[in-house]
């Protein structure tokens, strides 16, 4: 469910941020090149879910999306993007 997805994404992105100094230069390069792709895909999924989710659940959906966006913003800041 989406309720389980947001914390998992947040944990993965948090680990990527926290371990950035432990990663090789190549791995950091891969992260920098792909983080925007994943962020864009998340935004597109949110648009799809928003379109097809009943209005009564929209605030819950927005909360999940905001949590994920915050995690992406943290990774981007940590990788100077």
Q: How many domains does the chain have?
A: 1
Largest CA distance in the chain: 46
The pTM of the full predicted model, rounded to 2 decimals, is 0.81
pLDDT of residue 2 exceeding 80: no
For residue 17, the tally of other CB atoms under 10 A from its CB is: 16
Region of residue 80 (phi > 0: left; psi between -120 and 50: alpha; otherwise: beta): left
Domain that residue 43 falls in = 2-78
Tens digits of residue pLDDT in 15-25: 999 999 999 99
* Percent over 90 (pLDDT), the chain: 73
């Amino acid at each position: 469910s989406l309720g389980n997805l947001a914390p998992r994404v947040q944990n993965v992105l948090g680990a990527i941020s926290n371990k950035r100094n432990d990663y090789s230069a190549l791995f950091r390069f891969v992260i920098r090149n792909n983080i925007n792709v994943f962020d864009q895909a998340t935004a597109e999924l949110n648009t799809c879910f928003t379109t097809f989710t009943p209005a009564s659940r929209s605030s819950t959906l927005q909360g999940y999306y905001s949590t994920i966006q915050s995690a992406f913003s943290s990774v981007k800041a940590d990788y100077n993007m």
